[in-house]
Structure 1
């Protein structure tokens, strides 16, 4: 388990998270993050070697909270695995209806850094997507779903496709449609009821 960040480092990451998610990493300067955190730029650079490290820390800080939220939606849903998977999408669609929702921060950051595949933030995003896929695979396998690993990957493709199309259309109906497709895939591979 990783050590908790110092209060100052956490303050910087919290400020960066708000700004990067709202405006994108390219539009936010280190000066703006320092100002939002109420610190000097020198203090920020004491905790982060570069803006690249700060961007990676922003995504790393989102990993576990995002996974915990999706796991909570999954567990809270009534019904079989198909219903539980659909509940993740239904809750994402609900969240996407909020005016400040900007789609998936991991995908948006990766898109901004598309020409830099080795960037630490791209690696952090890849780890997050793999963590979600592995978690989902284990949950489905534990509930008797056949070929859970391949199915989890297909569900991730549906989810990230829905996030991507939301950047263009801003219509949460796409997330709900992806959820129905994911539920159908689950029903085709295993027990619909627990």
Structure 2
């Protein structure tokens, strides 16, 4: 549990976390030291340790912030049609990939830097991915319960591939391929509903 002096986040804690969000994502977690975070956040080391037990806890807090933003994105994508919800979520993912600041998936990047499955950072990555797959599975299950799990896994793999390719090649072409892949998956999945009905 992070060290905080009250239930309301302090300005210093917010600066630390905002700095971590910016530099961990842009430059990688291991390449950024505590001194850099402290300097850019304009706080002392003592202030950092008053709010976080150490770098590992700051990294987990960073991933928690990204997770919270993605949950809000998924909530904003919801509509009365589960297929349209999945389309809106795909469009939001594509918009992120098209962003000039895009550097891949924060969670896949963190997993690559913290491969030990028992490490707190890796556990935060797994928790996010479990939530994301469950969220997508829920939408597919609203269309048809049978095969919702495999369809969701397919969607997640399309997303992971787009996130990896998006920072290695032409982002627009990657997004077009990703969105076509999602449309194809939805077309097959909904066609099977119509065929069985």
**TM-score, scaled to structure 1:** 0.83
C-alpha distance in 1, partners of 2:177/2:7?
38
CA contact (8 A) 1:85 1:179 kept: no
1:36-47 → structure 2 map (5 Å cutoff): 36-47=40-51
User: Separation in 2 of the partners of 1:96 and 1:123?
Assistant: 24
| 1:160 CA displacement | 0.7
Q: Which residue of 2 aligns with 1:6?
A: 9
1:172, CA displacement in angstroms?
A: 3.4
Structure 1 stretches of 4+ moved >3 Å: 80-84, 143-146
Q: Which has the larger radius of gyration?
A: 2
Can you give the 5+ residue segments of structure 2 that lack an aligned partner in the other structure? 1-5
Q: Distance in 2 between matches of 1:66 and 1:15?
A: 19
Residue 123 of structure 1 aligns with which residue? 123
Of stretches 88-97 and 56-65 in structure 1, the one that deviates more from structure 2 is 88-97
Alignment deviations for residues 28-62 of structure 1 (CA, whole Å, 9 cap, x no partner): 11111112222101211122222111111110111
Q: Is the 8 A contact 1:102 1:167 kept in 2?
A: yes
1:59-113 deviation line (CA, Å, top 9, x unaligned): 01111211211332343xx9x5444423322332233222112121111111122
TM-score (norm 2): 0.82
Higher relative contact order (CA 8 A, sep 6+): 1
What is the root-mean-square deviation in Å for CA atoms of aligned residues? 2.5
Q: 1:17 aligns with which of 13, 17, 21?
A: 21
Report how many residues are paired. 187
Counterpart-to-counterpart distance in 2, 1:102 and 1:45: 28
Q: Given the alignment of the two structures, is residue 57 of structure 1 paired with residue 61 of structure 2, yes or no?
A: yes
Q: Please say if residues 82 and 183 of structure 1, whose CA atoms lie closer than 8 Å, have aligned partners that are also in contact.
A: no
Q: Secondary structure at the match of 1:39?
A: coil
Q: Which residue of 1 aligns with 2:106?
A: 105
- Shift of the 170–20 alpha-carbon distance from structure 1 to 2, 3 Å rule, reads farther
Alignment partners' CA distance in 2, 1:4 and 1:33: 23
1:142 aligned to 2:163?
Answer: no
Gaps of 5+ in 1: none
Note the 1:135-174 alignment, pairs <5 A: 135-144=135-144, 146-174=146-174
Output the CA distance in 2 between the equivalents of 1:24 and 1:113: 11
Cα distance 1:41–1:172, how it changes in 2: closer, same or farther (>3 A)? Answer: farther
